[in-house]
Structure 1
Amino acid sequence: MKKIYLSILSLFFTAQFAFSQTEYYFPGEKFNPEIPSPEEFLGYPVGDWHTRYDLIVKYYEKLDELSNLVKLETIGYTHEHRPKVILTIANESNMANLEAIRQTQVQLADPTQPKPDVSQMPSIVHLGYGVHGNEPSSAEAALLTAYWIVAGQSELAQRVREESVVLIDPTLNPDGRDRHSLWANSNKGFPPVADPLDREHNEAWPGGRTNHYWYDLNRDWLPLAHPESQTKVQWYHQWYPNVTTDFHEMGTNSTYFFEPTKPYGSENPVVPRKNYDEINPIFANYFAKYMDEIGSLYWTKEVFDNSYPGYGSTYPDIHGGLGLVFETASSRGHLQASQRGDISFAFTIRNHVVNSLATLEAAIDNREYMHDYLREFFETAVAEGKKDPAKNYVFGDEYDESRNRLFVQFLLDHQIDVYENNADLKVGNNTFKKGKSWVVPTAQPQYRMVRTMFEYVKEFADSVFYDASAWTMAAAYGMPFAAAPSAQVGEEVKEVAKPSFEFPEGKAYAYLIDWSDYFAPKALYELQKAGIHVEVVNRPLRSQTQEGAVDFAAGTLMIPMGFQKIEDTELIEQLKNIANKNQQKVYKVETGLNLSGIDLGSNSVGAVQQPKVIMLVGPGVSSYEAGEIWHLLDSKVGMPITKVNTDDFGRVNLFDYNTLILASGNYNSLSNSAVEHLKDWIQRGGTVVSLKSASLWLNRQGITNESAVELEEKSEPESLPFASSRDFEGAKAVGGSIYMAELDLTHPISYGYQMKNIPVYRNSNIFIQPSKNKYLTPIRYTENPHLGGYISDQNLEKLKRSASVLISPSGRGRVVHFFDNPNFRGAWFGTNKLFLNAIFFGNQMD
């Protein structure tokens, strides 16, 4: 009766209840009295407050101090310089041999090495918690689970210490967690308020879900845009855990979810069926048993997506382990009303605690089985890679050395084997030059990640997607690539070398910098910041340089020595330092008279306006897109951006800025006078860079006058089963997919691009007709644009008739509309420059 009593009471549990907290979370467990419980250490019961991240780390430090079974290490730091820690727990024998165990596990994951004996090999279990900062129960569960493993005296706790090495990450997103914890604790009532309308349950924008730059880190295991994920994935490849958990929260009226996920429709195409059909069901039985014991409701095999490779529960599946996602109903505070009664914070924590223990029991019970699967996974990867008709993928951009280096490094970060291309190679319409291209063989242990990087997928078992339906990373980097069975594989690339360019000596009439390189915008901004006057060449030319005759495309930067406010020697020193820092090659010319094309004093050469950028943020604005823009300008350009809440826009004098960025969102909260000020500013020469739904808002305000694509809608059934509504309506959405677009290479939006076609990423159903002005739709879709991901036939037809980017003139100003996302998740390096061109050259685009 005791368990039944506790399970009923658990829904309403708060710290004020009189029974023992230890008994609530761990019924019948005895603990080593020399190890303080989290409650003893913190001074309050777990679940009574949202525990700050620094206190979680302090508790782990205390465990490390008191127990020989524990080791705490810092593997990196967040943007806000919080430490990223891993707590390792095992018995004394395994702790003494920890490095040997790690090396054996890595050897097990390498089919080129002999398979080690795994009969006595401990299970490697990675308990990962808290990737979303405002899903706080998991990190509290990380405190309690660590305490149980270290101090628990039950037979199971002892087995876990004997038969496993447990690696705990208490939260992947410390910055977001502390943002949410401060909110929840600051707004807590005494007694707690369960009303969902209470301020405690409704965070201010952007909320605590995301990291410092408002990114969802649960999508970043693949792109590796942020230090939290970069250090985590680097650490992951040092261990290749057999099991990895990923604990989350969902809506308050839900119950609890654990895997399996939806069969076929939510599964990743490169993961072996054995993972889904055999291993997941084995582990699910343990989760069900533990949840049955406490009377918590749960469900499986519905909704949750396991396809996107960047999830913390999917990435391990593509590396020979078992990734497991768990979702509990959320109290989003300390107590919240639900359809089943008041959900307490402690109740949500306990759900994750019991499934942490269930995971550990399942892992040690299936220890040898999971070790054998790890080896089998990589052996079959090599075997499948040998059978792949592609044999190799060759890639490289002849004109952009920095983007090449970024992509090569990205592949190496994911432990993919990369080799030099030993000979010029023509594949289809692409030519890959020796020294400027690389080869990735398919016959390698990371074959399934190779597919992730280079394959386009168009056919799916489902037409409704929780997240992106396409993730071809070579396309994200804008990288020309092709299957190349006959490629000549050269030396393996172990590290990416940085280039060094000799700065030209002697007197110069002007200096030229090619705009093709990814970091040219960063160099430009630093030159402007240093007080150096820079102009842009708007037509192609051929100049005599220190390296002979060189062709320069439109968009080339020119630094004329005759129009500078600083001394020549200082300018040259600054230019040299900035060029070296950003790996930019500088060309010297001694005359303004060119060999062909325009001369340097042409009217087609003009000053580059130094950007003064403002972006509206706040309720109604997509924090994801705004964060992507902020992160791009901070990390890739070093350009400050003024972020202003929409509520404060009435206080803004736009004439202090020359560029306004509107991420997707609803700006209806702006007053009539604010809108009139915006109209006046644009009319007088301002540039608005607008993304997707923000462009629809501008249209409604009469600032622009563009038209939606209209098609005769296909007739739909008059009646359908109610249960089919989600699938039928969801299939109409564009679930994050990739398309081929065509650039007008003469337009400033395309400066720096040498190839006419470019992959773009779309995750909206906004289809706008090309401009009525025949010159102002510089990016359109090709005749057959669909490259990868899901799109319905009706939406594809609309897409073909719509614009990717168009310009709307307004007086002396303009709006630059992006209907695709050029900065998606910090991963779309190939389209970043389109966005940056709108900022640097926006005043020349109409």
Structure 2
Amino acid sequence: MKKQLLSLLAAFWMLGFSYAQNEYYFQDETFDAIIPSPKDFLGYEIGEWHTRYDRLVAYFEKLAEVSPNAELKTIGYTYQMRPLVVLVISKAEHIQNLESIRVNHLKLTDPKVDMPDVSLMPAIVNLAYSVHGNEPSGGEASILTAYWLLASKSELAAEIRENAVVMIDPAINPDGRDRHSNWANMHRGFPPVSDPLDREHNEIWPSGRVNHYWFDLNRDWLPLAHVELQTKIDWYHSWYPNVVGDFHEMGTNSTYFFEPTKAFSSENPVVPRKNYEEINSKFAAYFAKALDDIGSLYWTKEVFDNSYPGYGSTYPDIQGGLGLVFEQGSSRGHIQASQRGDITFEFTIRNQLKTSIATMEAGIREREYMHRYLREFFQTAISEANSSSIKSYVFGDTHDESKNRLFLKLLLDHRIKVFENERDINVNGKRFEKGKSYIVPTSQPQYRMVRSMFEKVTEFADSVFYDASAWTMALAYGIPYEGQSSANLGKELTELPEQSLHFPVSGKYVAYLSDWSDYFAPKFLHLLQQSGVHVETPAKTFTSKTESGEREFTAGTMIIPTGFQTMSPEELREKIQNAAEEAGVHVFGTGTGFSVSGIDLGSNNVGAVRNPKVIMLIGQGTSQYEAGEIWHLLDTKVGMPISKVDISLFGRINLYDYNTLILPSGNYSALSSAQIAHIKDWLNRGGTIISLRMASQWLQAAEITREEYLKTEESEGPSFVPFGERRDFEGAQAIGGSIYQAKLDITHPLGFGYRNGEIPVYRNSTIFFKPSKDKYQTPVRYAEDPLLGGYISKPNLEKIKQSASVLVSPVGSGRVIHFIDNPNFRGTWFGTNKLFLNAIFFGDKM
């Protein structure tokens, strides 16, 4: 009896203690003492420290252990093997029947299935935090939100548990979050320092915003370049949440932003107007009340972009749900001075907590409405498709099976229905072969995603874009495609078709041959070089008699002569076959060096392929995004290690240990005159520099290269613009991200492997170089009418027409390859990756 009394007293003491510690975040609420509070578990009040991700997950594990109303699911892992988790909270009955709830909810997405009774269905609410790791208030708010929803004895918490299934992503980007958490914690002062110049508020490069490969994951919902979003999208399509909260931070001097965004200008063209004009307004009222109740200021209907489908707040809008972006003015640490006084970490967390609770409340109050909207969304997708003149898109690259498969996987990952093309067809002058092309019908529930993948949009309501204004993924992949007025469908593909690779039967061969046109040809080449195989490449096309008949091979083809190897024919064959299977490429054998047509295998137009020794300068002043894109490309698509060296360590570099230096866009003014002299000497002796965007400007300023900028008239534009219109005017002059048709010289080493002299390129800068004075060294220049997708002002469009996309500057025996347009943008520009890889493998042949 005494023991029971002590336990009861302890419970009452814990109840009172929980009340006291949560006064700032929760006013006038009591909590169930069975649920451990964050402080009880972590040992500190939320906001005192930045919570490490492993401790956050451990707390969620504890919640799932002690409460029948919670279940923790691990849905994947990051590159650094941190678990990607979702904490599911609802009433116990729902937790026990999640699968039946999910299956019933998915009926709303299929117009062919009878409408279920939405009055009996819980709202599906997804709260997603910290996709940017250095926007930490969201992750801390996720802890408090989960605690409140499970432990609060309020009527609202009970009502949410009764009428919703709430799914909490505590951090979409755990790797970046821990990078920033460790930074903020290790530099915290006692007392904390609010000076914005203090080291705590200024991370070193790379910032916690980005993931392991230094990518912004809030741009990856569409391209799916990374495991975090590949996992997230797979989970998303297993549930189709009604409401998705996407919690961010912005500049310290700002207050709080929630939707609606700026009408028309910031909205995606495929999303129904009802989403923006009706639903957003419904939900905004809940957020305004929540922040009004605690006296926090906010703003709406301005600036923030909701157009790009790759945002966490836009993708749900194209899936029949409501995506909501929340932006909190950041403390970027524990406390920071702002124009309104010191902003504390606790203050930022509380605002995110209040809008999190408001999102759940709105989700249950508008539950039936949002269920009906989900069904309506997919019904109208079919009706809109049926009224469109385009009934299907056909795509396929006859010579690049790997790229076809990559694009096919993207479509299937987004649950877009794809069918085999069972006949040879010609559409608008393009040939699509049976077995090497596919058809995407427009009449399908994912019609709006189909549009996002294939449509070219060039007309907009506004001229100011926060980010990209073009995202046509078929152009990014450089895949031939066309719209059709019919849809002749073959077999539907629900997974990638099994790949059948050609490899020659055993025999006596003069050489093995593999076409450079395949996307993974560079991976095959690297594997061969790593295994000690000698490889050569031709500068011209030839037709060879192979064991499977006559075949044409273009410039860049991998020629593996059997007579110049340091291994036995059996060992050589085994290494080639292993590399071909790993890379997924076709290999052919020929018994003669005498070609049917074109150059012979021993021609002077055939030369050895050098083994690249690549170094990339990174660090403060350079673009973490571009550096990450290059690292990610070489890691995941080639399997090639790359030395990533901080600019501050350049004095320790002997460039003669390398043959290729990569300079991502950035400012390299930290390099001394002696170090610049070292670069010049190395270049003169045969080195290759690959520079992107602003790096080319620095090379000009350092007088390493002497190309010419495209001059513009100073009198361009009006002499006066009203001060209040300055942002819109200046924004219209920027090139935030758009797609252009360019002309490619496929005889130039940068063009090896391409079969088409036209190529889409992505531009997001206003850097304009004239074509090279050397008439042979502008391998990529713009077409006469270049705009394919996105916004650009008329003056900038005229400049583009006169400028180079890629040019080569000979420097002594070396060369600088300037990429004015980014060939690796967001890890998804597969159509131009080969240009960059050609610069690495064939730089010495220019």
Q: Tell me which interval the TM-score lies in, with the shorter structure as reference length.
A: over 0.9
CA distance in 2: counterparts of 1:674 and 1:21, whole angstroms = 57
Per-residue CA deviations over 1:656-684 (Å, capped at 9, x if unaligned) read 00000011001000111110000000000
What is the aligned partner in structure 2 of residue 261 from structure 1? 261
Residue of structure 1 equivalent to 2:735: 734
Residue number in structure 2 paired with 1:339: 339
Q: Could you tell me which residue of structure 2 aligns to residue 647 of structure 1?
A: 648
Matched with 2:770 is: 769
Residue aligning to 2:61 = 61
For 2:34 and 2:486, locate their aligned partners in 1 and report how far apart those are by CA, in whole Å: 65
User: Counterpart amino acid of 1:215?
Assistant: F
**C-alpha root-mean-square deviation of aligned residues, in Å?**
1.1
In the other structure, the counterpart of 1:601 is: 602
What secondary structure is seen at the aligned counterpart in 1 of 2:369?
helix
Separation (CA, whole Å) in 1 of partners of 2:572 and 2:549: 24
Q: Deviations over 1:710-749 (max 9, x none)?
A: 2335543333221100001111011100000111111110
Tell me how far apart the structure 2 counterparts of residues 394 and 99 of structure 1 sit (CA, whole Å): 36
Please name the residue that 1:666 is paired with.
667
Cα pair 1:658 1:687 within 8 Å, conserved: yes
CA distance in 2, matches of 1:458, 1:143: 43
Amino acid at match of 1:649: F
The corresponding residue for 2:842 is: 841
SS, match of residue 119 in structure 1: helix
| Residue aligning to 2:409 | 409
Q: Which amino acid aligns with 2:845?
A: Q
* 2:761 aligned with 1:760: yes
2 CA distance for matches of 1:841 and 1:21?
64
Residue identity matched to 1:317: D
Partner of residue 702, structure 1 = 703
CA distance in structure 2 between the aligned counterparts of 1:87 and 1:530, rounded to whole angstroms: 46
Q: Which residue of 1 aligns with 2:9?
A: none
The equivalent residue for 1:133 is 133
Letter matched to residue 477 of structure 2: Y
1:564 paired residue number: 565
Q: Which amino acid aligns with 2:463?
A: S
Look up the SS of the partner of 1:717 in the other structure.
coil
Q: Which residue of 2 aligns with 1:419?
A: 419
Residue 502 of structure 1 deviates from its aligned partner by 4.1
* Residue of structure 1 in register with 2:113 after alignment: 113
Question: Is the 8 Å Cα contact of residues 425 and 487 (structure 1) preserved in structure 2?
Answer: no
Q: 1:714, 1:126 → 2: CA distance?
A: 52
> Matches of 2:533 and 2:581 in 1, distance apart?
16
Q: Tell whether the 8 Å contact from 2:502 to 2:588 is kept in structure 1 after alignment.
A: no
Residue of structure 1 equivalent to 2:247: 247
> Which residue in the other structure is 2:13 paired with?
none
Give the Cα separation in 1 of the matches to 2:105 and 2:715: 56
Amino acid at match of 1:146: A
Mind listing any 5+ residue stretches in structure 1 that lack a counterpart? 1-17
Helix, strand or coil at the partner of 1:431: strand
Q: Which residue number corresponds to residue 11 of structure 1?
A: none
- Identity level (%): 64
What is the CA distance between 1:106 and its match in structure 2?
Answer: 1.0
Give the structure 2 partner of residue 281 of structure 1.
281
The residue that corresponds to 2:823 in the other structure is 822
Q: Deviations over 1:360-411 (max 9, x none)?
A: 1111000000000000000000110111111111111010000000101110
Work out whether 1:491 is the aligned partner of 2:497.
no
Distance 1:476 1:60 in 2: 39
- Counterpart of 1:8 in structure 2 is none
Give 3-state SS (helix, strand or coil) of 2:783's partner: strand
Cα distance in 2, alignment partners of residues 493 and 34 from structure 1: 50
Q: For residue 188 of structure 1, what is the aligned residue in structure 2?
A: 188
**Letter in structure 2 aligned against 1:115:** M
Of 91-100 and 831-840, more deviation after overlay is shown by 91-100
Contact 2:19-2:29 within 8 A present in 1 as well: no
SS in 2 for 1:770: coil
Checking the alignment, whether the CA contact within 8 Å between 1:650 and 1:671 is kept in structure 2 is no
Q: Name the aligned partner's letter for residue 793 of structure 1.
A: K
- 1:87 matched to 2:87? The reply is yes
**Residue aligning to 1:13:** none
1:81-139 deviations in Å (ceiling 9; x for gaps):
10000100010111122111101111111112111111110000001001000000000
Q: In the alignment, which residue of structure 1 is the partner of 2:636? A: 635
Q: Deviations over 1:499-555 (max 9, x none)?
A: 222421211111001000000000100000000000111111111001111111111
Q: Secondary structure at the match of 1:25?
A: coil
1-structure distance, mates of 2:249, 2:85: 22
**SS state at 2:115 partner:** coil
> Is the alpha carbon distance of 1:494 and 1:275 closer, same or farther for their aligned partners in structure 2, counting shifts above 3 Å?
same
Given the superposition, is the C-alpha separation of residues 53 and 441 from structure 1 closer, same or farther in structure 2, using an over 3 Å criterion?
same
Matched residue type, 1:732:
Q
SS state of the match for residue 648, structure 2?
helix
Q: Check if 1:523 corresponds to 2:524.
A: yes
| 2:812 aligned with 1:811 | yes
Tell me the residue number matched to 1:15: none
Q: Is the 8 A contact 1:118 1:371 kept in 2?
A: yes
1:316-715 to 2 correspondence within 5 Å? 316-504=316-504, 505-715=506-716
1:643 match: secondary structure: strand
Task: State whether residues 74 and 84 of structure 2, in contact with CA within 8 Å, keep that contact through their aligned partners in structure 1.
Answer: yes
For the residue of structure 2 that corresponds to 1:24, the secondary structure is coil
**1:219 and 2:222 matched:** no
The whole-number CA distance in structure 2 between the counterparts of 1:190 and 1:487 is 68
Displacement of 1:417: 0.5
List alignment gaps of at least 5 residues for structure 2: 1-17
Give the Cα separation in 1 of the matches to 2:244 and 2:502. Answer: 48
Instruction: Give the SS at the match of 1:162.
Output: helix
Distance in 2 between residues matched to 1:685 and 1:570, nearest whole Å: 34
In the alignment, residue 116 of structure 2 is paired with which amino acid? P
Cα offset for 1:422? Answer: 2.1
The offset of 1:258, in angstroms, is 0.4
Matched residues in 2 for 1:772 and 1:624: separation? 31
Q: Deviations over 1:233-281 (max 9, x none)?
A: 0000000000001000111111000000111110000000000000000
SS at match of 1:644: strand
Using a 3 Å threshold, how does the CA distance of structure 1 residues 568 and 715 change in structure 2: closer, same or farther?
closer
CA gap 1:539/1:716 in 2 versus in 1, 3 angstroms? closer
Establish whether residue 175 from structure 1 lines up as the match of residue 178 from structure 2.
no
Distance (whole Å) between structure 1 residues aligned to residue 292 and residue 586 of structure 2: 66
SS in 1 for 2:40: helix
Query: Equivalents in 2 of 1:319, 1:714: separation in Å?
Result: 47
- Matches of 1:118 and 1:843, distance apart in 2: 66
Q: Is the Cα contact below 8 Å between 1:423 and 1:488 reproduced in 2?
A: no
Match of 2:30 in 1: 30
Shift of 1:53: 0.2
Which moved further from structure 2: 706-715 or 391-400?
706-715
TM-score by length of 1: 0.97
Is the partner of 2:248 in helix, strand or coil? strand
Q: Where does residue 303 of structure 1 map in the other structure?
A: 303
For 1:28 and 1:607, the matched residues in 2 are separated by: 77
Q: Give the letter for the 2:753 counterpart.
A: G
* C-alpha distance in structure 1 between counterparts of 2:197 and 2:631, whole Å: 31
CA-CA distance at 1:837 after TM superposition: 0.2
Report the Cα offset of residue 703 of structure 1: 1.0
SS in 2 for 1:490: coil
Cα distance in 2, alignment partners of residues 172 and 318 from structure 1: 20
Equivalent AA in structure 1 for residue 808 of structure 2 = I
Paired amino acid for 2:630: I
Question: Which has the larger displacement, 106-115 or 300-309?
Answer: 106-115
Match of 1:97 in 2: 97
Shift in Å, 1:21: 3.3
Give the aligned partner of residue 43 of structure 2: 43
Q: Which letter maps to 1:641?
A: I
- 1:434-471 per-position Cα deviation (integer Å, ceiling 9, x unaligned): 11111111111000000000001111111011000000
Indicate if the aligned counterparts of 2:19 and 2:31 stay in contact, CA closer than 8 A: no
State how far apart, in whole Å, the 1-side matches of 2:610 and 2:222 are.
36
Q: Deviations over 1:22-77 (max 9, x none)?
A: 11111111111001011110000000000000000000000111011111011000
Alignment partners' CA distance in 2, 1:350 and 1:180 = 20
